[in-house]
Amino acid sequence: METSGHGGGIAVADPRPQPPRTRPPTTPDYDDDIVRLFFNATVLWGVVGMLVGVLIALQLAWPAANGGVPWLTFGRLRPLHTNAVIFAFTGNICFTGIYYSMQRLLKTRMWNDTMSQLHFWGWQSIIVAAVITLPLGMTQAKEYAELIWPIDVLIAMVWIVFAINFFMTIARRKVQHIYVAIWFYISFVITIPVLHIVNSLALPATLARSYPAYAGLTDGLVQWWYGHNAVGFFLTTPLLGLMYYFLPRAAERPVYSYRLSIIHFWALVFLYIWAGPHHLLYSALPDWSQTLGMVFSIMLLAPSWGGMLNGLLTLRGAWDKVRTDAVLKFMVVAVSFYGMATFEGPMMSIRAVNGLAHYTNWVIGHVHSGALGWVGMLTFGVLYWLAPRLWNRPLAKPNWPTTHFWLATIGIVLYTVSMWAAGLMEGLMWRAVDDMGQLRYPNFTEIVNQLMPFYWMRLAGGVLYLAGAIMMAWNFILTARGGVNREPSGDVSLPTQERAHV
């Protein structure tokens, strides 16, 4: 294993006692104000997005929960939930982690503070616009691309600001080689605008309504090329970048394998793009296209597990810390769920399995094992690691993260198990045929009503997960009260015993 030769970023490689690391006089003055802004936004929108999720989960179990109000109906809030957790919660944690880690990895301040601020406020205004327009029913009806065209234009403009600032910062780096986390960030910064612009091409009819440049199955293919790669390049690659920075920092171990990171990076960015048609299996999309989607989805297992293994094996020799350090607990469970979700995904892409799973709650369970398990848990781990460093004081409630961890973990288990069961059940009931060749359950609502216990169970899981997130938010509010502690700590990172741990 070539370990410490891996980039210039991970300083804490040697487990042996080391002299206290003080800031060398040449260390640039990093912009951590922008990191704190994105940090706060992550926490805020995370709670909001999960709250909307809990509400619509309740509506499936108890339809009257929309109160008869048009803008609280499931059809309008479901896009708000998905957009909030993807672009607001996940987006903001990606930016939090990128702004924190890239300055340190490249040993330079962000190129332009104004552009950083423009990026932050632009992104938040996009989210606020989404919170207003989606409940009003202003939508393009393409999943995770529902936002109306003026907001789409704003997204593209804000992203360009971010990309220029990002690449200029890299150009002005004080280290020669870029670390693996930065590779993943680069793929994120490049791919998202490509997906967003191609999928959003549309002709406006009014300010709030437009019709896509593509029609029918072509529109469907473009959408799922976008949709699947939004998962790939918004929910996976930037977070793998965060994993490559924050997991070794938290574990105080170097990344397990440099070669593995090269192979799985290039394989991942190349293979991911092909997998979109697995969302359209058994459609009238050409067979060769469906087959490509299926085959590449299965191949995707290899680079995905490459990333998982590289993450988990980074903990070799540090597993005792997982027992005591809540940050590592979150990260280990996150990487494990990444492995599980990326095993389940290829399996569900197999035509025969997809025939059963497609359109059912199984897909919802799959998505949430990735979203709650991988994205959510990694985010919580990163946030708990960052908070004491960003405010320069220990967490106000150092024991709460462990409670949060268990609430979240039990919540995910309830969620995924109930959705697997519900998905299998409805999938099998939809296709059940009796000896006479007739449908065994011709009445659709009969099947729907069989799912009720699972919908309640899923709601319970979601409530536990949300409760943990609220606990975290409260902890951060208490920690950040009084603003940033400007007392010099004499050290870039806080000593271990001041970190959040039990």
Pick between residue 58 and residue 332 the one whose CB is nearest to another protein.
58
Q: Report in angstroms how near the CB of residue 73 gets to another protein at its nearest.
A: 5
> Which residues from 125-144 bind another protein, rule CB under 8 A?
137-143
Query: Judged by CB under 8 A, does residue 206 bind another protein?
Result: yes
Give me the least distance between CB of 397 and another protein, in Å please.
38
Closest to another protein by CB, 157 or 198: 198
Within positions 419 to 448, which residues make up the interface with another protein, using CB under 8 A? Answer: 426, 430-433, 438-439, 442, 444-446, 448
Q: Which is nearer to another protein, 23 or 63 (CB)?
A: 63
- What is the footprint of another protein within residues 365-424 (CB under 8 A)? none
- b/e code 178-209 from CB counts within 10 Å (16+ = b): bbbbbbbbbbbbebbeebbeebbebeeeeebe
- Euclidean distance between CA atoms 496 and 398, whole angstroms: 12
Q: According to CB under 8 A, which one of 133, 349, 360, 409 is a site residue for another protein?
A: 360
Q: Which of 269, 312, 357, 421 binds another protein (CB under 8 A)?
A: 269
Q: Contact region for another protein (CB under 8 A) — 122-130, 153-161, 167-175, 331-339?
A: 167-175
For residue 276, state whether it binds another protein (rule: CB under 8 A).
Answer: yes
Task: Give yes or no for a contact between 415 and 364, defined as CB atoms under 8 angstroms apart.
Answer: no
Cα angle at 308 between 273 and 395, to 5 degrees?
A: 115
Sole residue written with tokens 């005792």:
320
Does residue 353 interact with another protein by CB under 8 A?
no
Q: Write the CB contacts of 248 (distance below 8 Å, at least 6 apart in sequence).
A: 10, 12, 254, 255, 314
- Count residues near another protein (CB under 8 A): 105
| Positions in 44-63 near another protein (CB under 8 A) | 59-60, 63
Enclosing H/E stretch for 203: strand 202-204
Contacts of 188-191 with C-beta under 8 Å, sequence gap 24+, read 188/94, 188/233, 188/234, 188/237, 188/238, 188/241, 189/159, 189/162, 189/163, 190/163, 191/229, 191/232, 191/233, 191/237, 191/269
Which three-class secondary structure state does DSSP give residue 439? strand
AA letter at 67: G
- Which whole-number Å values give the CA distances from 401 to 85, 327, 469, 487, in the listed order? 21, 8, 10, 25
Beta bridge partners of 202: 212
Cβ nearer to another protein, comparing 210 with 379: 210
CB 130 within 8 A of CB 189: no
352 lies in the binding site for another protein (CB under 8 A):
no
> Applying CB under 8 A, does 83 fall inside the site for another protein?
no
Q: Does 201 bind another protein (CB under 8 A)?
A: no
One character per residue 223-252, x = contact with another protein (rule: CB under 8 A): x-x---x---x-------------------
Please, which of residues 452-491 interact with another protein by CB under 8 A? none
Residue 382 · residue 246 · CB < 8 Å:
yes
User: Could you say whether residue 284 binds another protein (CB under 8 A)?
Assistant: yes
For another protein, which stretch binds (CB under 8 A), given 37-45, 125-133, 208-216, 325-333? 208-216
Q: Which of 22-30, 334-342, 351-359, 471-479 is the region at the interface with another protein (rule: CB under 8 A)?
A: 351-359
C-beta of residue 148 within 8 angstroms of C-beta of residue 133:
yes
Only segment of 119-127, 176-184, 297-305, 473-481 that touches another protein (CB under 8 A): 176-184
Tokens 């932050």 sit at which residue? 120
Give min distance, CB of 248 to another protein, in A.
Answer: 16
